[in-house]
Structure formats: structure tokens, C-alpha cells
Amino acid sequence: MGMFFKSDATKRQKIAATFIFALFPLIFIEMFSDTLIYSWYFDAFAYPVLAMSLVLVAIMLYMMLFKFREETQANLARTNQKMWVAIIGTVIIIPMYLCIAFLKGVPVLLHSFMSSESEVYITVRKKSYRYSEKNCRNGGVFIEGYTYFLNDKLCGFNESDWESITSGDRLRLDGKVSKFGFTLKKYQKLKK
């Protein structure tokens, strides 16, 4: 592990970096997964993750501004950074990082190990305003019961099917299902 750190890195810096490196794969798992997470998971864990984020932000700000102020200022001066940029970065990045890692990464990882083939029936809430969006490989469809940010849209519809889908349509989704969510493999529009 010593080859990953500079020779003058403190034990505290190594512990913090190890924690960050350990969570980093969870963000990548979430980024490259089309798994939708069930809302119960967000409802159950959003406040604990937010509380953990606030505690970590408070600890980091205390350490930066009071306990290790001189060391922090010296490190920032050496890299030509401003203290206010470090503070804003801490306040924004820690909660965002933890929310993505724990609210999306962990359930997607667990889903990949615990899922099995099944089908799910859903109702279309609305569809994307255009067929090809940057954050959706193909046409996106928003579905009932999924309203959380980055967890409210199914992607992967071909253009002719996407054009024919309207709000209120029922779809049968075949794919991998677990108690954490589901991953779409194929779909079928049901008759009204």
C-alpha cells in the first residue's frame, strides 16, 4: 500500500485516501449500470447517508479550520490553492460522493449478486422530450414509483417503440430482478 502514497504522507492522510479509494469503485458501478433501485431503499437510507455526510463534513471543516489549520494552509499554499475553494469542495464533494456510493453503488452491487430473471409490470409516467439524450443511451421513459434523481428513467427503447409510448401505458419488463431493483433486458408494450 505504501507505493500509492507519497513518502511524506501522514497516517491520517493515508487513512482518508484508503477510505476514498475503497468507495471509488461504487461510483463507477453506478455510472455504468442501468439498474433502477426500488424507492424503499432510498427512503430507508437517504437520511442516514445524509447524516453521515454532515458528520464527515463537520469533522473535515473542524480539522481544516481549527485543529490542523497551519498544516492545511501550508499544503494549500504549496499547491497554489485558496482555503475557500477547499471548504466549498469539502461541503459539496463529500455529500455527493457518499450519496452516489451508498444510495446507488451499494444496491447496484448487491443487485448484481442477488438478482434472478423475472418480469415486472410498470406504468409510464412520461417520456423524455426527445429520443436521444446524453444521459440515456436511447429513448428514455420515466416510470411510476421512481422519482429520485438518477433513478427515475428506463433507457434502451428503440425509436419506433419510444415514439408509440405515451403517458399511462403499461409495459412488461423482462430482466434481472432482486429486492434492491431491476435491470431491463427487454420490454413489451401491453394493450390498454
Tell me the per-residue pLDDT of 3-29, one tens digit each, with 9 for 90 and over. 556 666 677 777 777 877 888 888 888
Q: Do 58 and 131 have their domain in common?
A: no
12 and 45 belong to one structural domain: yes
Looking at the structure, do residues 100 and 152 belong to the same domain, yes or no?
A: no
pLDDT in tens, 36-82: 888 888 888 889 988 988 888 888 778 777 777 777 777 677 777 77
Does one domain contain both 12 and 104? yes
- The percent of residues in the chain predicted with pLDDT above 90, rounded, is 3
Q: 3-state DSSP call for residue 128?
A: coil
Q: Could you tell me if 15 and 108 lie in one domain?
A: yes
Of 113, 131, 164, which residue constitutes the final position of a domain? 113
> For the chain, what is the domain count?
2
Residue 32 and residue 87 in one domain: yes
pLDDT at residue 138, as a whole number: 65
**What CA–CA distance (Å, rounded) separates 157 from 183?**
13
Summarize pLDDT for 83-125 with one digit per residue, the tens.
777 778 878 888 888 888 888 888 988 998 998 999 888 888 8
Give Cα separations from 44 to 17, 82, 145, 170 (angstroms): 28, 38, 15, 28
Of 113, 148, 168, which residue constitutes the final position of a domain?
113
Give the DSSP H or E segment for 139. strand 139-143
Alpha-carbon distance of 50 to 58, in angstroms, equals 12
Do residue 6 and residue 97 come from a single domain?
Answer: yes
**Residue at grid coordinates 507505493:** 3
Q: Is 86 helix (H, G, I), strand (E, B) or coil?
A: helix
User: What pLDDT shows up at residue 133?
Assistant: 60
- The answer to whether 178 and 37 have CB atoms below 8 angstroms apart is no
Closest of 110, 112, 98 to residue 45, by C-alpha = 98
CB proximity list for 37: less than 8 A, separation 6 or greater: 103, 104, 107, 108, 111, 148, 151, 180, 181
What range does the domain containing 181 cover?
116-189
In this model, does residue 182 exceed pLDDT 80?
yes
- Same structural domain for residues 7 and 18? yes
Has residue 2 got a pLDDT over 50? no
Q: Which pairing describes strands 181-189 and 116-127: parallel, antiparallel, or unpaired?
A: unpaired
